Structure 1
């Protein structure tokens, strides 16, 4: 089964994620490096230490911000 989430305001279906997926698995599926990402799950910031414990359900709303470095 797939998992449908509202990611950064848009509904997306993730065929590779099961109904028991967690935030860490989502970040991996998005191809992002965990040390450069902040995640909000249903209005609450999820500390990186809780990613594996934070289960996702169909319809959950997530905001994922990826930090990029740069300079002059």
Structure 2
């Protein structure tokens, strides 16, 4: 298991979650409506599949919800 800090909470995810894209899939989040920050760096959506997730990373996931 990998130990991550996601939105300020200690979270364990399977070691198969090796990239940001896999992290979003693990949590069933649509990458089109999520902003991802890792260790203080905001990622572009095209970086999700190539950005590794490592033990101890600080991840912020901001999910936009429409409404009216």
Structure 1 segments of 4 or more deviating over 2 A?
A: none
TM-score by length of 1: 0.88
**Structure 1 portions without partners, runs of 5+:** none
TM-score by length of 2: 0.93
Report how many residues are paired: 68
**Structure 2 portions without partners, runs of 5+:** none
Secondary structure of 1:27's partner? helix
Rounded Cα–Cα distance in structure 1 between residues aligned with 2:25 and 2:35: 13
Q: Is 1:51 aligned to residue 48 of structure 2?
A: yes
Secondary structure of 1:63's partner? strand
Give the corresponding residue for 1:10: 9
Secondary structure of 2:47's partner? helix
Higher Rg: 1
